[in-house]
Structure 1
Amino acid sequence: MLATGAIVAVNGLNPLSLIALAIGGVLAIAPKLKLSSKNETQDPAPLIEEIPTPEEKRLAGVPPVVATSGEFKIYRQAELNRTTASLKANGAILIAGEDGSGKSVLAGAVVENLQDEGYIVAFIEPATPKQMLLEIAHQFDIPTEDLEGKSLTADKLKRAIATFLEENTAFLVLDDAHCCDAKFRMWLKQLRRSDAPMLLLATDPPRTDIFINIPRIELKPLPEYAIREIMVIAAAERAIALKPSELSKLQERAGGNPMLAARAVDEEYLGLDVEGADHRRYFDITPLILLAGIAFVIMRFIGLGTGDQALYIFGGIAAAVFLGLSRLLYNLPPEDRRIR
């Protein structure tokens, strides 16, 4: 009966009234639907974690050159993976390279990766032998006093650390190992005989004591794209705009050294006019020597063809000298493989 009455009521309205009634209903319901949809789909404001800026990290002592982990970019990912894998296999590794090449930052990334996986790591820097032993004991949580409250001697600390490394999975990382006392390095050599995993970092390490016992990784200069990216980041931190030509000029002074790349931007920021650079990246002039030898050989044939005896003799002697020097230089071992 109610449905019939509704039909009669609708039939009693003209089409225009029906259209107006429908539009009015839609306009009345639409705001509620829109508000309900907005309330259902709107997510609460996410919590934003404040991340220190590169400038804050630079002031805190973190080198702005090569990334360690996290939001930083790793430029030496292969070396990082190889070093971490070697340490996990109870191995030892030596990372060598010139000052500012990124050894300490790479070591920091290795330490962070190991600590994230739950390993115990002692990361120390050069000091007196007793201070370094105390620092290792502190980071390994080894007591430095006996039952009577007396401080342990250096020999007792060495035995306690050696025992801890034998009974636990722990790693020893030593920065600037070449600056350590020779006796301390000999103790490291003894630790290595018991397969204690360790990572050493050194600049031009001598091939003696511990340095000759463990394999080494030579940090090569970073590629040009990485150095330019480092300079662009450093320039952005200092709010200075550098043209591509200026970046190219500064890049020549860096020579593949990440620390020198950041320093070059600092010098440009301070308006310092620096001519030279401290890097050890040199250009290979072997092709130029070979071209000179070829030129002297051609000179010899020209003298032979023109009948100029002096030119013929000079070209032959010069060609022989250049060919001999090139053969001698070719047979010499690379500089990084020579015994110092």
Structure 2
Amino acid sequence: MMSPRSQLFGRDALLNDLEREIKKGHHVLLTGPIGVGKSALLVAVLQRIEPRESEWYQFDPVASDAEDEPIEPAPLPETPGRHDQVMIYLSEHQGKAQFVQIARRLLETGILKPSTLELAKKYDDLPPSAIEWKKIRRNVNRLSMRDLTQAIIPAIYEWEGRILIGVDDLTSLTPTQQAFWLAILEHAQVIGCASSRKSGLSKLWWKMKHVAVPPLDCRAATDLVRDYIARHGVLIESPGLYIGHVVKQANGNPQAIMDMLESSAREKRLDKRQIREMRHAAGLTYVDFTPVMFIAGAAIIGTRYLAIGLGDTALYVMAGMGAALFLSLRVFMFKGSRGKTGG
């Protein structure tokens, strides 16, 4: 598992820029491929903006909304004052589960009245710390996203403080869920991550400032590998070859780098043969040959019609042979792959 230190290697400037954008009040969307470090940046910047450690329990997987109860109960957050900032971190990836997490957090902080979630009136008279989530979770989970939104929006609208929502993954958001998130954006500041900006969600993306998280540059990737080797005492026959190979194969992806480092750390000693055999999918890029297929197909069809018009039998036969070759190779041409040579 990647440590926070490893995930943020070479990200100081980007982290500072992200903090400035959030402090300006912008909604922010972090974009980039899987494993590039979006979630790590999100957590790091939220911890900068929210200095109270009592709020950080939200980043602990043990405190998640899993069906199984945690071995040790997560610490309860402090009940905020009416003008305080409230931070909500959403670790769930599905839209409905994210809104359940919002409702849970608002209940914990006393911003949301339990009865607005169709819970028994008796809960309204209890302090937030006395409401056990495990006893009400099933009832809250039964509510639709519309019902959850209708409870959440008035609560955050009436809150006089700032509500900051960090979303670990907006990639799976659907066009039908867009309206619910647009309502949230009107009354709370949202910072989210997405591997790609899905079509059909343009109204949502327009409201968010896009911050691309690029792969690590060669120097930062090299420093990360060197740091890991020194901290874990990995025995390597040729350190220079090893570092260069890992950096090249990972293609600047921090998760890919750590995958390779952790895999090789299991070996007692890495020799040159083992180093050269190390591979990672991040070191490959896929070239889409679809446009080539369309052009080649159109050229072959056009040539056959031209041959018919001119009465040129030789040209017609050549076009037929080209069509046969085209059909036999089409399976292999739609997606071809080659290794990247950059570091």
| Structure-1-length-normalised TM-score | 0.56
CA deviations 1:20-58 (Å, max 9, x no partner) are xxxxxxxxxxxxxxxxxxxxxxxxxxxxxxxxxxxxxx4
Question: 121-130 vs 101-110, which deviates more?
Answer: 121-130
- For 1:16, the equivalent position in structure 2 comes to none
Secondary structure class of the residue paired with 1:278: helix
* Contact 1:75–1:226 (Cα < 8 Å) also in 2: yes
| Amino acid corresponding to residue 7 of structure 2 in structure 1 | V
Q: Which has the higher contact order (CA 8 A, sep 6+)?
A: 2
Change (3 A) 1:75 1:143: farther
What aligned pairs does 1:82-97 form with structure 2 within 5 A after superposition? Answer: 82-97=17-32
2:163 corresponds to which letter in structure 1? Answer: A
Query: CA–CA distance in 2 between the matches of 1:63 and 1:77?
Result: 13
> What residue is the counterpart of 2:100 in the other structure?
134
Match of 1:214 among 184, 208, 216: 208
1:122 maps to a residue whose letter is I
* 1:327 alignment partner in structure 2: none
C-alpha RMSD of matched pairs (Å): 2.8
Separation in structure 1 between the aligned mates of residue 154 and residue 23 of structure 2, nearest angstrom:
19
Show the 5 A alignment for 1:1-340.
58=1, 62-63=3-4, 65-67=6-8, 75-116=10-51, 119-140=85-106, 141=109, 142-145=112-115, 146-148=119-121, 151=139, 153-154=143-144, 155-166=146-157, 167=159, 168-192=161-185, 194=186, 196-209=188-201, 210-242=204-236, 243-270=239-266, 273-279=277-283
Q: Highest Rg: 1 or 2?
A: 1
What amino acid is aligned across from residue 178 of structure 1 in structure 2?
A: T
State the shift of 1:214 in Å. Answer: 1.7
Query: Match for 1:232: what amino acid?
Result: R
The one-letter code matched in structure 1 to 2:33 is: E
Alpha-carbon distance in structure 2 between the residues aligned to 1:255 and 1:185: 34
Segment drifting more, 123-132 vs 172-181: 123-132
Q: 1:127 to 1:99 in 2, by over 3 A?
A: closer
Alpha-carbon distance in 2 for matches of 1:249, 1:270: 17
Partner-residue secondary structure (3-state), 1:206: coil
Q: What displacement does 1:267 show? A: 2.9
Check whether the contact 2:93–2:168 (CA below 8 A) recurs between aligned residues. Answer: no
Deviation at 1:114, TM superposition (A): 1.9
Structure 2 CA distance for partners of 1:127 and 1:203, relative to 1, 3 Å: closer
> Are the aligned partners of 1:98 and 1:204 in contact in 2 as well (CA < 8 Å)?
yes
Q: 1:256 Cα deviation (Å)?
A: 1.1
Partner Cα distance (1:240, 1:211) in 2 = 44
5+ long unaligned stretches in structure 1:
1-57, 68-73, 283-340
Count the aligned residue pairs.
Answer: 216
Q: Deviations over 1:176-232 (max 9, x none)?
A: 21123443333112322x253101101022243223432211111112121112112
Measure the CA separation in 2 of the matches of 1:165 and 1:91. 17
State the AA in 1 paired with 2:14.
E
* C-alpha displacement of 1:169: 0.3
2:258 alignment partner AA: A
| SS of residue matched to 1:200 | strand
Separation in 2, partners of 1:178, 1:199? 13
- What TM-score, normalized by structure 2, do the two folds share? 0.55
* CA distance 1:96–1:254, change in 2 (3 Å): same
Give the C-alpha shift of residue 261 in structure 1.
1.2
Residues 27, 207 of structure 2: 8 Å contact kept: no
CA distance in 1, matches of 2:94, 2:251: 34
Q: Distance in 2 between matches of 1:224 and 1:278?
A: 14
Q: Is the 8 A contact 1:101 1:257 kept in 2?
A: yes
